Amino acid sequence: MGVFESSEKFEEVLVGFFRNLGDTPSIANKLLASKLIIRFTYSDPDLVVLVDCSGDKIDVRPGDKDTKAEVEMSMSADIAHKFWFGKVNLMAALTRRQMVAKGPIPKILNLLPAIKPSYAMYPKYLEEQGYSKYNIH
C-alpha cells in the first residue's frame, strides 16, 4: 500500500498542488516559457495528469489521455510524492527506472532549476490544505 489510499485522494492532493504552482508567477513563467505539454502517468494508485504549458496560463487537466504530449513521464505515486519534497534525485530515478521519461530529456532537465522552489512549497501546501498526514518529516 502506497502513501495515498485512493486515486481520488491522490488526484485531489497533486492536482491541487500543480494548480498552486501554476498560480505562482516565479515558477509558472519559467514553465510557460518552455511551452511544454507534459503527461504524468502514475501508478499505485493510478492517475493521469496533463500539464499544458503551451498557452498563456498553466492548464492542469486530470484524466487527459488524448492530448498529444511532448513529454510523457511515468512513475509510482510514492516516487512522485517524494519528488515534490526534493527527496528524489531525478537522474538516479531515471537510471533505476523508478521514472520513465519519453521525449526530449534535456527540456525536462532544464526545468529542474525552475521548479526547485516548489520543494519547499509542497510540505507547506500539505500542511495548509489539511493534508498534513502525508507530510514527510
Partner 1 sequence: MIGKDVWNQFLFTSDEGNPMLPEFFEFHNPTRVVYGVGLASDFKAELDALGVRRYFIVSDKTINELGLVKRVVDGLRTGGFEIMGEFLEVPQDAEIKSVNACAEQAKASGAEGLIAIGGGSVIDAAKATNILVSEGGDLIQDYSGAQTLARPLKPLVAIPTTAGTGSEATIVAMIADEENRCKMAFTDRFLLPSLAVLDPEMTLSMPPKLTASTAMDALTHAVEAYVDLQRSPVSDALAVGAIELIFQNIIQATEQADDLEARGALLVASNMAGIAFSHSMVGCVHGMAHAVGGLHRVPHGVANAILLAYGMEYNFEQAKDKFVKLALFMGEKVSGLSVDNAARKAMEAVRKLTGTLNTMGALPLRLREVGIPEDALPAIAEAAVVDGTSFYNPREVVAEEILVHLRKAY
**Which spans of this chain sit near partner 1 (rule: CB under 8 A)?**
71-72, 89, 91-92, 94-97, 99-106, 109-110, 112
What's the rounded Cα separation, in Å, for the pair 25 and 101? 26
Q: How far is the CB of 109 from partner 1 (least distance, A)?
A: 4
> Which residue, 33 or 136, is less far from partner 1 as judged by CB?
33
> Which residue, 100 or 120, is less far from partner 1 as judged by CB?
100
Q: How far is the CB of 97 from partner 1 (least distance, A)?
A: 5
- Of 22, 9, 4, residue with least CA distance to 121: 22
> Which residue, 15 or 93, is less far from partner 1 as judged by CB?
93
Report whether 94 contacts 101 (CB < 8 A). yes
Q: How far is the CB of 68 from partner 1 (least distance, A)?
A: 9
What's the rounded Cα separation, in Å, for the pair 26 and 62? 23
Give the chain's largest Cα–Cα span.
38
